[in-house]
Structure 1
Amino acid sequence: MTLPEISYLELIISCLPVIVAAIIFYRWKANSKELIFATLRMIAQLIAVGFVLVYLFKSTSCLLGSLVILLMLIIAGWIAMRPLADKSFKHIVLLSQSLLLGCGSILVLIVVYVLDLSPWYQPRFVIPLAGMLLANTMNSLSLSGERLQTEIKAGAVLDYARNKAFYAAMIPQINSLLAVGLVALPGMMTGQILSGVSPLVAVRYQIVIMVAILCSSVFSTAWYLSRRTKLLNVAIKP
């Protein structure tokens, strides 16, 4: 059984609850304009990327795939910096470097040694996998960075602030591990099941993805906090 195609009218119907969400945002004194802007931007970005991916997935160019992932890496670093007070160029370099270290190492492991792709740089596989790792790890970096600056502002010593920031960033990751299969079926697994793949096969893929997201988040966050606190420590020394 194949999935039914969603028409544009049905797509619009699925987005109608956003209006209710915006009203709730407004009534709760949250930024409803930001919600509407983010939703419209999400729709525009996904439609645009859909056309781009049709072309990319037909390509076997290693250079083209690498350029796309590099762009994704820079954008993820920039978005991760959004809730942070320090908007300097050095900070976004550190965030992007942390993403490259954590996500890059795990991506190579999956593509080369787990999926055993030939050639290994096929954009059809590498780009979606890189996107999943970057998106989740980006959130961990934002959480850790925001908690670090909050703890430091409250007067905490750097080592204590670093540890609290790491723990805060890992809460969503640990919660997702505890909830998967009991509370929710993750997106990749659900998509495979809906497309007709055996649940037992989908489970194996999902385990790979969950472990990959966890480890890339841990590696990137630990590296970011270590480097960030070291730089801050140098900065406050007389």
Structure 2
Amino acid sequence: MNDSIQIIPFTNLALAFIPVAVVIAIIWKWQLDYKDAVYAICRMLAQLLLIGYVLTYIFASDSALLVSSVLTIMIAASSWIALRTLSVPRQALYLISFISITFGGGIILLLITQFILELQPWYMPNYVIPLAGMLFANAMNSVSLAGERIEAELNRGLSYEQARIIAFKASLIPITNSLFAVGLVSLPGMMTGQILSGVSPLIAVRYQIMVMCMLFGSSGVSSALFLTLIKNKLQSQSQLKQT
């Protein structure tokens, strides 16, 4: 297979923003908040361009301390972002979110890198950072869905136990749908990237199986831990609203 990947010129890359512009135009025409979408696109562009340079430096540095610092920043940022849909102040729940994402994503990252891939050295940045990014982002989304749903169910008057079951189920919907669709409807990013770079599809499939298992695990563990630790705070808030 071809071992090189085609480089996209910036002029060609600009064409990818045509469908983006179409969607933003629809948002504006339907009198929705198009500024939020524009901000999100601009932020995505700036963050990805910046991280491209940062990762180039990190991959060349071969520093365990630097990789550990990047992982800490990832967890800190994802823990904060996960709480943005909740009415409870983020500061009140940040530690719970941080613990949930760290445990749910971190333990699985350790399993993947040290016992499945057996990385030497353990901090190989070109493996650890991309895998950590997938794990922590997935855990973040799961925690966010679980938090938003359990708050809504408690506000409807359900007991904590009932709300927790509904919220946990909701938090697993995206990754469960992905499990059903992978290989049939979609070829996920990691597998697609490996195939485009010349890796045999049979090898890429092994990596994708590993990725799907770790994403399902991080979703379930992180959201379950979050829903367990958040019990007292959400129940207190629900009681205050009723009085």
TM-score calculated relative to the size of structure 2: 0.94
Which of the residues 115, 118, 121 maps onto 1:119?
121
Which residue does 1:100 correspond to in 2? 102
Work out the CA distance in 2 between the residues paired with 1:232 and 1:82: 15
Which residue does 2:144 correspond to in 1? 142
Q: How big is the shift at 1:132?
A: 0.5
One-letter amino acid of the counterpart of residue 165, structure 1 = A
Q: Is the 8 A contact 1:59 1:123 kept in 2?
A: no
Q: How big is the shift at 1:232?
A: 3.2
The answer as to 2:41 corresponding to 1:39 is yes
Percent pairwise identity:
45
Work out the CA distance in 2 between the residues paired with 1:234 and 1:201: 51
Residue 197 of structure 1 aligns to a residue whose secondary structure is coil
Work out the CA distance in 1 between the residues paired with 2:123 and 2:58: 12
Which residue does 1:201 correspond to in 2? 203
Runs of 4+, deviation exceeding 3 Å = 230-238
Q: How big is the shift at 1:17?
A: 1.4
Which residue does 1:22 correspond to in 2? 24
TM-score calculated relative to the size of structure 1: 0.96
Which residue does 2:193 correspond to in 1? 191
Q: Is the 8 A contact 1:56 1:123 kept in 2?
A: yes
Q: Deviations over 1:156-205 (max 9, x none)?
A: 11111111011111111111000101111101001101111000000000
The answer as to 2:72 corresponding to 1:70 is yes
Stretches of structure 2 lacking an aligned partner (at least 5 in a row)? none
Which residue does 2:213 correspond to in 1? 211
Q: Is the 8 A contact 2:80 2:90 kept in 1?
A: no
Which residue does 1:172 correspond to in 2? 174
Q: Is the 8 A contact 1:141 1:220 kept in 2?
A: yes
Work out the CA distance in 1 between the residues paired with 2:175 and 2:130: 19
Q: Is the 8 A contact 2:151 2:234 kept in 1?
A: no
Residue 16 of structure 1 aligns to a residue whose secondary structure is helix
Q: Deviations over 1:13-39 (max 9, x none)?
A: 111211110011123333211111100
One-letter amino acid of the counterpart of residue 152, structure 1 = L
Q: What's the RMSD between the two structures over aligned residues?
A: 1.5
Work out the CA distance in 2 between the residues paired with 1:90 and 1:121: 33
Work out the CA distance in 2 between the residues paired with 1:233 and 1:166: 17
Q: How big is the shift at 1:234?
A: 5.9
Stretches of structure 1 lacking an aligned partner (at least 5 in a row)? none
Work out the CA distance in 2 between the residues paired with 1:209 and 1:147: 26
